[in-house]
Amino acid sequence: MESIQKNVQIKLQTTIDDQGVKEQNEIVETGKFYKRGKMDVIIFDETMDGDFKVKNLITIQNGSVNIKRTGPVSMNQRFDINHRTENVYKHPHGTIHMETFTRRITYKQKSESEGQLSLLYTVRLNGQQDERKHELTLIFKEEDSE
């Protein structure tokens, strides 16, 4: 089984559209990209406000993505095209029940260590009727070895 491990630069952009009010966020971090058979894995630490770190583990397989975050903020969110999934988001101020409906997963690789993952999904928080539209784009590429 083919196995690849590379150090990568990661840019993660998220947009939340809550009834027309848009909130955008972008983080740039360094992490690792692993390819094992038909599964791709991206691991990176995200530095949050207050300088605490949250570990992110993103697993990409055919038609499915899983994002696991551990640390002061934790969640295990699964994205399956045209399916509703549930998870609990834990942070220092409490817990939020999330219901996610995945509309689109697009994953393109330009090379063995460069690619882009896009997710389009809606989220309902704590059983509310109002859905918030989410768009997540993760771009990764091998770090320049200078």
As its CATH architecture, domain 3-142 has: Beta Barrel (2.40)
Task: Identify the CA nearest to 50 among candidates 25, 24, 26, 71.
Answer: 71
Rg (CA), the chain: 15
Residue-level pLDDT at 2: 67
Residue-level pLDDT at 50: 74
Residue-level pLDDT at 146: 47
Residue-level pLDDT at 129: 87
Domain borders along the chain are 3-142
**Which amino acid type is present at position 68?**
K
Residues of the chain with pLDDT under 50: 146
Residue-level pLDDT at 113: 86
Residue-level pLDDT at 42: 97
Q: What is the pTM of this model?
A: 0.91
**Distance between CA atoms of residues 23 and 1, nearest Å:** 41
